Amino acid sequence: MGYKNKNLIVSLLVISISLVGILAINIKSAKTTTSMEVDKMIGTKVILIDPGHGGMDGGASASDGTVEKHINLNISLHLQKLLKESGYKAILTRDEDVGLYSDSGTVKEKKREDLNKRCELKKETDCNMFVSIHLNKFKQPSCKGAQVWYSNNPESEVIAKMIQNNLRMDLDESNTRLAKPAKDGYKVLRCNDTMPGVIVECGFLSNKQDLELLKDESYQKKVAESLCKSIREYFEKSN
C-alpha cells in the first residue's frame, strides 16, 4: 500500500472518530437538557401541605369521639408521599400531633401563634401552592361531601375547581357542592397570598356516612390520590 493511501486511511479514521465524539457529546447534552427541563417543570415545584389543627387543638369532633386533627394528618401524610413520588417537593406544616406554638401563653394566645406560624411558613418555604386539609361539621347531619375554599389569588380558583371536580368524580358523583371563594374568611388563606391557596374540607364528621368513610384509611388514601391528581394536572397545564 502506498504512503499516500496510508495517510488517506489515517485521515478518514481521525475524521470518523471525531464525528462519533461530537455525536456522543450532542446526545449527552440533549439528555441533560431534557432532565433539566423535567426538573424545572415538576421537581422544583414546592407544595406546602397544612394538616389543620394539632396538639391541644383537636378541631371538630364526631359524636363517637373521632377527632379531626388525626384524620387531617393522615390524609396529609399520604398526599406528601404521593407528591414526592411524582417528583414534587412536598412540605408539611406539621408531621405529628403537635401545634405550632410555644409552651407558654393562654389557649387563645397559642391558637393565634399557631395560625401565625402557618402563615409564616407559606413565605418561608417559598411554596408554589398551599393546600390546607380540614374536615367539616354542621348541626344538620344530612350535610355531606367534600368542598374546597379558595383564596383571593386568581390562580386559587383554578386549582380549587380542579380539586372539587376530581373529588366528585373520584369519591362521590352525587356530591353537588361547588368550590367557593373564601374572600376574607380564613386568615391562613388571606395571609401571604402570593401563590394558589385552598382549604379542602374532605367531608363532614357530623354525617354518619362521611364519618365512616373518613375513618377508613383506604378512603383517606383515595382522598390524597385525588388531590395529588389535581395538583399534577394544574402544574402540567400551567407549564
Mean pLDDT, the chain, integer: 88
Band the pLDDT of 9: cuts 50, 70, 90: low
pLDDT by residue (tens digit) across 51-106? 999 999 999 999 999 999 999 999 999 999 999 999 999 999 999 999 999 988 99
pLDDT by residue (tens digit) across 180-191? 999 999 999 999
Task: Indicate the pairing of strand 46-51 with strand 129-136.
Answer: parallel
At 82, which helix (H) or strand (E)?
helix 68-85
Whole-structure pTM value = 0.81
Cell of 22: 461530537
Q: Is the per-residue pLDDT at 3 higher than 80?
A: no
Give me the amino acid identity at 34: T
Q: Are residues 58 and 34 in the same domain?
A: no
Q: Is the per-residue pLDDT at 25 higher than 90?
A: no
Domains identified in the chain, total number: 2
| Angle of the 208-215 helix axis to the 217-238 helix axis, nearest 10 | 80
Among 25-34, 61-70, 143-152, 206-215, the least confident range: 25-34
pLDDT at 13: 52
Residue in this structure with the C-alpha cell 386568615, named with its chain if needed: 187
pLDDT at 238: 84
Which of 86, 101, 119, 195 lies closest to 150, judged by CA? 195
Task: Indicate the pairing of strand 197-204 with strand 147-150.
Answer: antiparallel
Task: Indicate the pairing of strand 147-150 with strand 129-136.
Answer: unpaired
What range defines the domain where residue 37 resides? 1-41
Q: Are residues 129 and 142 in the same domain?
A: yes
51 neighbors 76 (Cβ within 8 angstroms): yes
Give me the residues paired with residue 180 across strands.
149
Is the Cα torsion angle 17, 21, 26, 31 positive or negative in sign? positive
pLDDT at 44: 80
Q: What's the rounded mean pLDDT across residues 210-235?
A: 98
Q: Are residues 159 and 205 in the same domain?
A: yes
Q: Are residues 24 and 111 in the same domain?
A: no
Distance CA 189, CA 238 (A): 21
